[in-house]
Amino acid sequence: METYNKTQVMKLKTRLLQEGIKLDEKTQQKLRGVIFNDYVTCSGLMLKLFGNKKNVKDLKSQYLNNREYVTAGINQKSKYSFSIVNGKFLIKYNNKTVCSDVGVSKPSKNQTECSYVAIHGDRIRISLVGGCVGDCKFCGLNKLAYITPSFEDIKRNVNEIIKQKGNVTRLFFTGGNPRESDFENILKTLEKTIAYYKKQGIQNFDYMFAPRGTKSYINNSPKEEYEKLLNKIKQIGVTTVAVDMEIYDKKLLAKYAPFKSKIGRENYLLCLKTAVKIFGEGNVRSNIIVGLEPKNSSLKAVESLAKIKVQPCLSPYEPYYALPEIQKPSWKELYDVFVASNKICKQYGVVLAPSLFATDTHNSIASAKNIPITQTEKSMFYSTLEDLKN
Ligand code: SF4
């Protein structure tokens, strides 16, 4: 078996994240129903690199802690390929095996980008809004039909996934940003969903939203409005929050994300700072897209967040059809930003997000190292085709 140290596994992850993976036709047939056909950063094969051996008892072992998660997009030009030999999974580079300890996770039945309830690893994603009122050029959510599913719709779909998958321990509420007039009802749906699943034993409820008050996005006294909303969602039962800044450079923010630019960088930071006060350190994160702005600007973003004890979450830019002129950054650029960001975070006593659940690192330039291993993450990845298909 290959012996890899942590740095090598992280480099392999970053390369797969950037370059994607090739599948021949036969393998694609075998993987029918396993490949994610989802939002651009969640499409492809969801893999666990190392740590898949069943007979390892000690959950703290070095072997298990060298695991990484990655969603590798399907790219027939990639030098990395995925193959199945005697029912076991292999990753090869230029036809030479580089990882023979591979786990694979799968979506729920018929899950697509339009599904307002979906599973990724051991986390259920609930889109409280399908579509978005935002106009960010790097994002495809605003191209989807605008819908606001009811609690009953959500419950039916979540229960179906739990029936298919078994043990799920957390819910992630996300989706696009709603029309201002819909927000009150959305909060009611959030409240009902949390109350219902809390009774079923789920304890972690993560909520992503743009800085806003209870009524509108732009407010005369944002601090008070942010406080009011954050206290309200905490009282409803939300346990962690994400407020995604995405771009630090103000000119580029205005160019690529006019909706976010109108709210303004200062208000993003104000809302995040207020969120740390209310939810506590370690429970607030903000996404930064690496590759849309110069490296130094991405690092300024990381520092501005780390300074206020927000965990920066680094996502590689994925070219989308609305922005074909911007190239995907190289794996080396992504890796360099990861290393430099870790240094900045250390200086301010924070860590990169996601930091609570290992499988959530699958589409971020983040490591699962130091994240405790849970039974649910183990049970959602399969190391043989037979297990994966059953
Ligand atoms: S506000 Fe968020 S969901 Fe909406 S278009 Fe922008 S990035 Fe996408």
Q: Which residues pair with residue 119 across a beta bridge?
A: 124
Task: Express as a percent the part of the chain with pLDDT over 90.
Answer: 84
CA distance 268 to 30: 45
Burial class (CB in 10 A: 0-12, 13-18, 19+), 321: exposed
**208 CA distance to ligand 1 middle (Å):** 11
Count of Cβ atoms closer than 10 Å to residue 5 Cβ: 9
Lookup: tokens for 45: 């094969």
From residue 354, give the alpha-carbon distance in Å to each of 139, 298, 350, 381.
Answer: 20, 17, 12, 19
Task: Express as a percent the part of the chain with pLDDT over 70.
Answer: 99
**14 CA distance to ligand 1 middle (Å):** 24
Instruction: Check whether 321 has a pLDDT greater than 70.
Output: no
> Tens digits of per-residue pLDDT, 353-379?
999 999 999 999 999 988 988 888 888
Read off the DSSP letter of residue 328: P
Does ligand 1 come within 6 angstroms of the Cβ of 142? yes
Average confidence (pLDDT) over 128-154 = 95
Cβ-contact 339, 126 below 8 angstroms: no
Average confidence (pLDDT) over 251-258 = 97
Task: Note the pLDDT of residue 2.
Answer: 56
**133 CA distance to ligand 1 middle (Å):** 8
Predicted confidence band of residue 3 (pLDDT cuts 50, 70, 90): low
Q: Which of these, 330, 339, 343, 344, lies nearest to 367 by C-alpha position?
A: 339
Give the residue carrying structure tokens 């994607």: 20
Does ligand 1 come within 6 angstroms of the Cβ of 136? yes
Q: Is 296 in a helix, a strand, or coil?
A: helix
Q: Which segments of the chain belong to CATH 3.20.20.70?
A: 117-376
Does ligand 1 come within 6 angstroms of the Cβ of 141? yes
Lookup: tokens for 244: 């995604």
Q: State which H helix or E strand residue 242 sits in.
A: strand 240-242
Q: What is the mean pLDDT of the chain?
A: 94
From atom 8 of ligand 1, which residue's Cα is the shortest distance away?
139
Q: Which of these, 383, 359, 390, lies nearest to 71 by C-alpha position?
A: 359
**307 CA distance to ligand 1 middle (Å):** 25
pTM above 0.75, yes or no: yes
> Tens digits of per-residue pLDDT, 258-270?
999 999 999 999 9
Task: Note the pLDDT of residue 1.
Answer: 46
Read out DSSP for 340-379? Answer: HHHHHHHHHT--PBP-S-GGGGGGSS---TTSPP-HHHHH
Lookup: tokens for 123: 């986390």
Q: Is 97 in a helix, a strand, or coil?
A: strand
CA distance 246 to 261: 11
Does ligand 1 come within 6 angstroms of the Cβ of 175? no
Does ligand 1 come within 6 angstroms of the Cβ of 211? no
CA distance 213 to 227: 8
Average confidence (pLDDT) over 8-29 = 96
Choices 3.30.420.40, 3.90.580.10, 3.20.20.70, 3.20.20.10: CATH for 117-376: 3.20.20.70
Task: Note the pLDDT of residue 5.
Answer: 83
CA distance 202 to 173: 14
CA distance 197 to 158: 10
Q: Which residues pair with residue 126 across a beta bridge?
A: 117, 173
Instruction: Check whether 325 has a pLDDT greater than 70.
Output: yes
Average confidence (pLDDT) over 300-323 = 92
> Tens digits of per-residue pLDDT, 59-100?
777 778 889 999 999 999 999 999 999 999 999 999 999 999
**319 CA distance to ligand 1 middle (Å):** 15
Q: Which residues pair with residue 240 across a beta bridge?
A: 206
Q: Which of 177, 255, 261, 292 to mutate to test the pocket of ligand 1 (most atoms within 8 A of CB)?
A: 177
Q: Which of these, 9, 15, 14, 11, lies nearest to 63 by C-alpha position?
A: 9
Nearest ligand 1 atom to the CA of 176 is 3
Does ligand 1 come within 6 angstroms of the Cβ of 35? no
Give the residue carrying structure tokens 């992630």: 172
Does ligand 1 come within 6 angstroms of the Cβ of 132? yes
Read off the DSSP letter of residue 221: S
Instruction: Check whether 272 has a pLDDT greater than 90.
Output: yes
Instruction: Please state which of the ranges 41-50, 152-161, 234-243, 319-328 shows the lowest mean pLDDT.
Output: 319-328
Alpha helices in the chain (DSSP H): 6-19, 25-30, 62-65, 151-165, 183-199, 222-236, 250-256, 258-263, 265-279, 295-307, 331-348, 375-379, 385-389
From residue 31, give the alpha-carbon distance in Å to each of 27, 34, 38, 55, 114.
Answer: 6, 5, 16, 25, 21
Average confidence (pLDDT) over 280-292 = 97
Read off the DSSP letter of residue 174: E
**153 CA distance to ligand 1 middle (Å):** 23
SS3 content of the chain, % helix, strand, coil (to 5): 40, 20, 40
Q: Which of 142, 243, 256 to mutate to test the pocket of ligand 1 (most atoms within 8 A of CB)?
A: 142
